[in-house]
Amino acid sequence: MDNDRLFSRSNNEELNVSYTFLSGLKVDLQFANFIEGEALPGTGVSPENFWDGVAQLVGEMVPRNRKLLAVREDLQNKIDAWHKSNGAVADDPAGYRAFLREIGYVVDRPDDFTIEPGTLDDEIANICGPQLVVPVSNARYALNAANARWGSLFDALYGTDAIAREGDLAPGKTYNPKRGDEVFARAAAYLDQAFPLVDASHGDVVDYGLDHDGDNVSLMIELGDGSFARLADENAFVGYIEQGDTCSILLRHHGLHMELVIDASKGIGASHKAGLADVIVESALSTIQDCEDSVAAVDPAEKIGVYRNWLGLMKGDLRDSFLKGGKPVERRLNEDRVYSAPDGSSLSLKGRALLLVRNVGHLMTTKMILDAQGNEVGEGIVDAVVTSLCAMHDLAKTDGLRNSTQGAVYIVKPKMHGPEEVRFACDIFAMVEQMLGLPAQTIKIGIMDEERRTSANLKACIYEARDRLFFINTGFLDRTGDEIHTSLQAGPVPPKADIKSEKWIASYEDRNVLIGLECGLSGVAQIGKGMWAMPDDMADMLASKAGQPNMGANCAWVPSPTAATLHALHYHEVDVFAAQRRRHNEATPGLDVLFSMSTIAKDSLSAEQIARELDNNAQGILGYVVRWIDQGVGCSKVPDISDVGLMEDRATLRISSQHIANWLLHDLVSAEEVEACFKRMAGVVDQQNGDDPLYQPMVGNFENSIAFQAALELALKGAVQPSGYTEPILHRRRVELKTG
């Protein structure tokens, strides 16, 4: 760093933060060193221009941010007052809808338009498939997710409950050939679906080979009776690799690839009658590297770690080393996959998922930068600057480990409330482009449709982002949490399991697709759907998650690379663009059904039902919060009250805490009952984490366990949290633990 610009330093004792003054801002010294020593070099942006740009951005955008948050609070106060005077929405739906228009919560729909975000990468516009979400704070997970573009179908079937684990098919400690035969049969069935043979099945094949005729190569498929079969779509054969005893055959369907690995000389291939050693499936087309809900970063040092990993991904040099089975292993980004095409030319396919980055929302602030008045700056504003700066290293590439071949930066923006906040985010991106010298509309925006004001005004939100939109995506848990909080005064909400079947949920998911199609997203941008939260339950995922592409979703979230491999099969089963054409002219559900979440009578549930629901909520909150606070883990597989592992982040926490807050407000439970339940469930969570050497038990230490107190506070004070968000309490309590 240029020492002549270090005018003075000051300390924040709470987190031992040292500041330097740059362009009129107080900047955390560690953060300044990261920017100037690691992120800026190679971008062509000078430190002086960078900090001047940040100062201008802070000066213009921080006041707007505060005003938008004040609008949220004002609208919520008015909605609370309406419910106190008028009761539940169902008592006067027309009056409620008119009221929301009167206060500006619902705005006029814009005239018809079509988005024009420019040319986006194929993984966004032209190919449909799974999408992973991973905390970028964990380098190993981030690399695994980036490399999840290709996955082993044999491993995914053999190693999960996609194939039954009982009786003769039990995996066992050594290889079970009967289970292996079932893997072969299932793989053949999937190949028959995606790459059917004429009058034959892949289960009948005894040899996959290549026939060379000069520069041209064709696929030879021999059956058990000595005859030969051909693909129903002979254009599906698009490439191959020949290397010694191994031959790889590349097939393509619906834009997605599968690679048949043939090696009869050893291992699995030796036990397959056609020598098929594996089927490699193109799996996670895109991955959201998350800075938000799955990350616990409460101070500058932790946040710099988040940024450093994203920078490594964009440069292509991120590494992580660890021990596996007592042996050192290093993770790095996969190289591209190079094949020979049937006409003799070369075919190169990406070895990595297209990486998107989720910034934080508009609510939280950060100590990394303080404005001229000493106030913390919006963390989302800093995220926009830094994640875009890091992505410039990828934009400068012309070969090697590239992310976007179209020169785009893909930022997912969560938790925006309505079109004015979407416009605010787009204005931030425009200023960031200007300060970094990027062409206009380089930074693309993904709108998370997870707040009710955005859902109610989705077309207007898309309109505000029409020149940089790359996706819209639903999120059931956050959306339900916001639904409960927005209508907190309306009355007691049903149990969580009943909420899932509410008609407003179906209308919310349908509106997202149909409005997206209405605005021209098909073949241009993604329409996405939410997470499969049970990473150990792949059989049910295979049975049900095809519903998302079938309703017209280009992508849907999965919790692991293995889940991505299995979910990719659904995009061979379903032609998403055909589904979108089928749905294009469907009527869009109206606002009445969107606002129709029901309330229940206080006496409609038995004491046993209330206690069971409270136990379930409390256990889930404690199981997640104890890892967040004590270990800084923002996303993990948390066992529920029935010991079923659920992949959880803050969205799960939001709905559970708001559910308890609602029942507290309407006297279904008392604060004393909630506290007693949390203490009882703490014993369950302690027992579930008994094998974790880092775990700090809560039982017997309730007063001093910051994690327990944080979890309890989320429930008891959930009604007064802004929009029902959990971040303010979690961050404050994690800082409390870190600073003693």
Task: Tokens for 469, please give them.
Answer: 């939109």
Question: 334-393: per-residue pLDDT in tens?
Answer: 999 999 999 999 999 999 999 999 999 999 999 999 999 999 999 999 999 999 999 999
Which one of the listed residues 453, 511, 649, 654 is annotated catalytic? 649
Q: Are strands 337-340 and 276-282 parallel, antiparallel or unpaired?
A: unpaired
| pLDDT exceeds cutoff 60 at 6 | no
Q: Exposed/middle/buried for 158, CB within 10 Å: 0-12, 13-18, 19+? A: buried
CA–CA distance, 416 with 380 (Å, rounded to integer): 11
Question: What's the mean pLDDT in 194-210?
Answer: 97
Average pLDDT over the chain reads 96
Residue 306 has a pLDDT of: 98
Residue in the structure block whose two tokens are 């971008």? 43
Question: 258-279: per-residue pLDDT in tens?
Answer: 999 999 999 999 999 999 999 9
Residue 15 has a pLDDT of: 56
Q: Exposed/middle/buried for 209, CB within 10 Å: 0-12, 13-18, 19+? A: middle
The pLDDT > 90 percentage for the chain reads: 94
Query: Residue 656 in contact with residue 554, Cβ under 8 Å?
Result: no
Residue 244 has a pLDDT of: 86
Question: What's the mean pLDDT in 178-188?
Answer: 98
Q: How confident is the model at residue 636 (pLDDT cuts 50, 70, 90)?
A: confident
CA–CA distance, 164 with 342 (Å, rounded to integer): 39
DSSP label at 197? B
CA–CA distance, 636 with 138 (Å, rounded to integer): 12
CA angle 391, 394, 399 (to 5 degrees): 175
Domains and CATH numbers, the chain: 65-149+285-594 (3.20.20.360), 150-282 (2.170.170.11), 602-739 (1.20.1220.12)
Question: What's the mean pLDDT in 417-434?
Answer: 98
Question: 7-55: per-residue pLDDT in tens?
Answer: 233 344 455 679 999 999 999 999 999 999 999 999 999 999 999 999 9
| pLDDT exceeds cutoff 60 at 635 | yes
Residue 685 has a pLDDT of: 97
Q: How confident is the model at residue 2 (pLDDT cuts 50, 70, 90)?
A: very low
Residue 248 has a pLDDT of: 98
Q: What is the pTM (predicted TM-score) of this model?
A: 0.96
Which candidate, 659, 651, 654, 650, places its Cα nearest to that of 677? 659
Count of alpha carbons within 13 angstroms of residue 685, beta-carbon side: 28
Q: How confident is the model at residue 566 (pLDDT cuts 50, 70, 90)?
A: very high
| pLDDT exceeds cutoff 90 at 426 | yes
DSSP label at 39? I
Which candidate, 194, 217, 191, 220, places its Cα nearest to that of 203? 191
User: Which three-class secondary structure state does DSSP give residue 242?
Assistant: strand
Q: Is-catalytic flag, 233?
A: no
Question: What's the mean pLDDT in 412-416?
Answer: 98
| pLDDT exceeds cutoff 70 at 702 | yes
Residue 478 has a pLDDT of: 97
Which one of the listed residues 252, 331, 358, 627 is annotated catalytic? 358
Q: Which residues, 6+ apart, have CB-to-CB distance to 84 below 8 Å? A: 489
CA–CA distance, 572 with 576 (Å, rounded to integer): 9
Q: Are strands 17-22 and 25-28 parallel, antiparallel or unpaired?
A: antiparallel
Q: How confident is the model at residue 217 (pLDDT cuts 50, 70, 90)?
A: very high
CA distances from 231 to 187, 242, 253, 366 (A): 16, 20, 12, 57
Task: Tokens for 331, please give them.
Answer: 């993770």
Q: How confident is the model at residue 245 (pLDDT cuts 50, 70, 90)?
A: confident
Q: Is-catalytic flag, 649?
A: yes
